[in-house]
Amino acid sequence: MKKDIHCAERWYGTQYGGTIMNPKLLSKDSIVYSFGIGEDISFDLDVIRTHDCKVYGFDPTPKSIKWVESQETPPNFLFYEWGISDKTGEVDFFLPKNTEHVSGSLSNQSNIDLSNKVTVQVKTLKDIMNELNHTSISVLKIDIEGSEYEVIDEFLSNESIPIIPQLLIEYHGRFFPDGIQKTKDSITKLKAIGYKIFAVSNNFVGVSLIHESSL
């Protein structure tokens, strides 16, 4: 996976929980959505410290919810116990096979235990924006353990969602037999509507994209 363009970039957060953004596109008025909190809000806190904007964190995982509740977080970090999906409603959420891990998934993938599940609330991106009274957002960060493919397809198909300047996506193709192709297809769809890759993580799973209208 290669960069399409070169622009300003900065790493936010720890090596484990962080990713790369273009800092020049953020201000105190920016709205950042961060899906898949787990037990690491280093990215979210770094964004808040640097830009003084609001970061909305989302994770329906019981272990993550308990962990976030135990933290002292700044007023600009707002947490919701929802997952993002290609539909809105209550669904089965599968917990990880390794009980030491935190991240579950809506998808039937290799890291989850199909016999260990909880019921969680999920919403589409548009329904979340409507509920939070946001007509647009500045950044969409998703680390959702294999469910990113369906989520991306859903919001790309919804013409009522304004273009999001930056997408920060962790692809989990390694969880699926056809994962390499799934990731290639997803990126092809994003490029077709004007997104360009400006950063790729060292392990090639984190991809940062910017829309051409923001360049």
Residue carrying the six token digits 């390794």: 98
Q: Where are the beta strands (DSSP E) in the chain?
A: 10-12, 19-21, 31-35, 54-58, 77-80, 83-84, 89-96, 112-123, 139-142, 166-170, 195-200, 206-211
Collect all residues with Cβ–Cβ distance below 8 Å to 186 and sequence separation of at least 6.
148, 149, 152, 153, 171
What does the DSSP 8-state code read for residue 158?
-
Distances (CA, A) of 91 to 119, 131, 152: 5, 19, 18
Residue-wise pLDDT for 6-58, tens only, equals 999 999 999 888 999 999 999 999 999 999 999 999 999 999 999 999 999 99
Instruction: Decide if 207 contacts 169 (C-beta within 8 A).
Output: yes
pTM above 0.85, yes or no: yes
CATH number for the domain whose boundaries are 10-86+124-214: 3.40.50.150
Residue-wise pLDDT for 147-201, tens only, equals 899 999 999 999 999 999 999 999 988 888 898 999 999 999 999 999 999 999 8
Domain ranges of the chain: 10-86+124-214
